[in-house]
Structure 1
Amino acid sequence: MQQTKPRLDRDARREAILDVAQDVFLEEGYAAASMSTIAARLGGSKGTLYNYFKSKDELFEAYVQRRCVWQQDEIYGLQWQGETVAQALSRLGRSFLRHVLSDDNLGHFRLIMAEAERSPEIGRAFYEAGPKRGAERLAVVLAEWAALGWLDVRDPTMAAHQFLGMCQNRHFKARLANYVPELTEAEIEAEVSAAVDTFLRAFGKPQAAGQTA
């Protein structure tokens, strides 16, 4: 009896295309990458590829959007139960730095920023789905803590950006320029600890020190 390969459903096929496209974009850069190369690696025809994405631009934007969603879930998809505010912020800060300053993430970031100059809409899509959305998600939590009397925060969105900025500020440009290697766990802990300490000195309420988030 002849065996046939199982057919992927449409969503699975789309994900498979994005997996291959991501590899090709990272290896060759956007300009050198072609729909023909992506289709060949996928084992199909360009016609199949165009059934899902009308152009290379559209495919690249879908890759950017998916990358942002994955990172959002990995960094901010945290539960805030049974921890003090300091512990919860420390846990988020460590997750944030591990992802943002990793070799893998910086490779994607460089690729996306290179294309943002050519296509501002790609940069806009990345920023709105990535950094902006992440800060907004943290801001919601900070607002909840402020309502409970645990923080003195007047502008939760501003405070969220300030916390995330303190976590990454000292090493982001050095990592982006390949000046320093990936941070060790001890280095991540030191950066986050300093950021949490500074943040709580600015916004924390002493009477809430023992509260759990």
Structure 2
Amino acid sequence: MKIALLGYGKMGKTIEKLAVDKGHEIVYKLDSEFEEGTLKDADVAIEFSVPEAAVKNITRSFSEGIPIVCGTTGWLDDYNNVLNKCEERNAGFIYASNFSVGVNLFFNINAYVAKLMVPWDEYAVSIEEIHHTEKKDAPSGTAITIAEGIIENTDKENWKLDEGSGNTIPISAKREGDVKGTHSVAYRSTIDTISIKHEAHTRDGFAKGAILAAEWLVKKGSGVYTMKDVLGIS
């Protein structure tokens, strides 16, 4: 499989190493400071850049007829416009706030726990995420996806950074050192606390999941999919 890397920071370099180890070829690299190779030579693009560049990178791939996997967060105000352009071009697209297989399993566990907690209104739910100091968006896209999973399965209506009450879920976002990503959900009452947690030890999980998604999307060619489709999670 010939891969274009749109964004060549820490994640892009990790994806490159693991993809080459699997026998794939990197034919194009794009970052804010350089461009190497030819995008048209790629079978699929993997996009991990910055919010300001994501939409341009995605739509460029659509225009070139190259399916794209995107893991950049912080640009979702333009999500519906991107989907419309994907449909216009009959392109292939997978966006995920987190491509880690473990995190996507965690998303399902989170939704299941939320359903279980519905009758027990004495428990107040909250979310905490911790990332490295270079992460630009807060809260993380993963934390927002976790909140959305709770909202879909309870009477909660919204989330808010650092504060919440009633039907709003509070999300705490911390930035510490080189933390790869820790997400936890807590249900607290005056008697006890129930919590679930996912902690990433390396970036390899995110990279492996993105490569897995790219391999899957190449076979599909066109359409809009999620990691649930890739992993066969109902």
Q: What interval of TM-score do these two structures reach, taking the shorter chain for normalisation? A: 0.3 to 0.5
Larger radius of gyration: 1
The structure with more helix, counted as a fraction of residues: 1
TM (normalized to structure 1)?
0.34
Task: Report which structure shows greater RCO (CA 8 Å, sep ≥6).
Answer: 1
TM (normalized to structure 2)?
0.32
